[in-house]
Amino acid sequence: MQKMNKFFKNMSLTGKITLMYGITFGVICVVTSIFMLVNAYFFYIALSKKELAEIAKSVTAVIEEGTIPTSEELRKFRSNNYVDISILQISGNPTMLSSTFSNFFEIENPRQPTRKKPQPIQRVDTIENFNDRFVFYQERVSFNGVTYSVQVMRKYSHERQFLSLLAMIFIVANMFGILCTVLIGRYVNRRLLKPVVTISQTAERISIEGLTKRLQIDGPDDEIRKLKVTFNDMLERLEKSFVKQNQFISDASHELRTPISVIQGYANLIDRWGKDNPEVLQESINSIKSETDRMTGLVKKLLFLARGEQNKTKIQLSQVSLKFVAEEIKRELEVMETNVLVTIEADSDANVLCDYDLIKQMLWIFIENSLKYTKQEMPTLTLKVFEENNASVISVCDNGMGIAQEDIPQIFERFYRADKSRSSEIAGTGLGLSIAEWIIKQHNAKVFVKSELGFGTEITVVFKQEEIE
């Protein structure tokens, strides 16, 4: 049994489906054949009994008229050569009066009382004689105090031969049908599953360096075609993911290479001249600390994004007023940046179901980017809070240098810098807006960026209003 289970598990999908077809067709054929043979058998029995009963009634009708048919006259009552008739007197001394039998069959002589009126008694039975099978019918009739038995027997060997031949035909036909089903099913299954094999072969050939391969979309609009489309879409997403991953690794390596090179350079400087020169030593220490802080910030942001992508960052939702968040950020900015003019335009509290700390972090990212890319001596920030179309909206507007229209779709990508010519002069890791985008997605919100070079940028986040259940 274990070997059979192991064999079945190791079978190909084509073999399993073909085996299922063969077993199903075989069971249907066997059940149908048995049903037809049994019905044919009982049909012949019923037909024979009806035939013999009619013959017996015809003979008893003649006896009731006072005439005992001779053997020659009995032959006229036969419907065919397979039927034999005999008349026996069973009252007194049992005597065979006439018969068409070549072999007589004795029956037990039951006690039959004498009746003044004929009282027919019927009995249908089946008896065995040598290797032949017979259908036997007996009808008794009493006339003038004498009891007669009319026995009609039909030889059943012809029907048995026919049924045996029919059974052999069914067996051969079933075996041939099962064989044809297996062969045709195997051919059809191979044709139907050929696209699946193609998909499997394509998947085996795919590697990180070969994600450009795609399946050819052809054939009818069925499940296989949908599978091909889904497979190609998956490859498309994988290719984009690997491209982004490679770009991310390249950018992260580039971002880390600079501080590492600076730290290594100052370490060499200390090793050569800084041991005896306090000024060089202090300068090296300050630079190493600065670059270490930069690396620490970069690693923290990378870890934040990694935890977010793995759904390890816990989001604690509560009803938060966006107006309150904007006012708190304004107070903090006035303490931290004395040369920043911050204004708030709020029409309502704009309550939203969100994580307070994450929303505040998102707004700080927008504000820090605005301050980095502002050339004005007195940067101006405007925080707008309002409700519109059953949504809570907050936006950050600045009077900075602005963003080119072709750069706007890419600003949320990791390590992307819109002003590439000055990216080395402006502090930052290029991960802030990526983190802000992740926060926005976690709150099912939408972000819109409107900017013009030389006139500033406005970033708007729209939250759908929800209540805590």
Q: What gap in Å lies between CA 314 and CA 308, rounded to an integer?
A: 9
N-to-C CA span, the chain = 56
Confirm if 381 and 333 have CB atoms less than 8 A apart: yes
What is the structure's pLDDT at 114? Answer: 37
Q: What gap in Å lies between CA 344 and CA 144, rounded to an integer?
A: 132
Q: What are phi and psi of 174, to 5 degrees?
A: -65, -45
Q: What gap in Å lies between CA 247 and CA 339, rounded to an integer?
A: 37
What is the structure's pLDDT at 300? Answer: 73
The set of residues, in sequence order, having a beta carbon less than 8 Å from that of 109 and lying 6+ positions away, is 90, 94
Confirm if 56 and 152 have CB atoms less than 8 A apart: yes
Confirm if 462 and 468 have CB atoms less than 8 A apart: no
From the number of C-beta atoms within 10 Å of its C-beta (0-12, 13-18, 19+), residue 373 rates as buried
Q: Residue 80, CB half-sphere, CA atoms under 13 Å: how many?
A: 8
Helix (H, G, I), strand (E, B) or coil at 15: helix
Q: What is the bridge-based pairing of β-strands 83-89 and 146-155?
A: antiparallel
Give the DSSP H/E element, type plus range, for residue 126. Answer: strand 121-129
Q: What gap in Å lies between CA 364 and CA 434, rounded to an integer?
A: 13
What is the structure's pLDDT at 127? Answer: 44
From the number of C-beta atoms within 10 Å of its C-beta (0-12, 13-18, 19+), residue 434 rates as buried
Q: What's the distance, CA 56 to chain centroid?
A: 69
CA distance readout (Å), 129 to 42, 150, 156, 246, 299:
20, 19, 11, 93, 102
What is the structure's pLDDT at 207? Answer: 63
- Blockwise average pLDDT, block size 10, the chain, 469 residues: 62 75 85 89 84 88 86 85 86 81 44 38 42 74 83 79 86 87 81 76 68 73 78 82 70 68 78 72 79 74 68 80 90 75 88 89 87 77 90 90 85 68 51 85 90 88 71
What is the structure's pLDDT at 117? Answer: 42
Q: Measuring CA to CA, which residue among 442, 444, 443, 449 is closest to residue 412? A: 449
Q: What gap in Å lies between CA 250 and CA 137, rounded to an integer?
A: 102
CA distance readout (Å), 27 to 54, 144, 183:
41, 61, 17
Both tokens of 133, joined, read 């099978």
Q: What gap in Å lies between CA 344 and CA 59, rounded to an integer?
A: 122
Confirm if 174 and 181 have CB atoms less than 8 A apart: no
Q: What are phi and psi of 420, to 5 degrees?
A: -70, -30
Write down the pTM of the prediction: 0.49
Confirm if 340 and 379 have CB atoms less than 8 A apart: yes
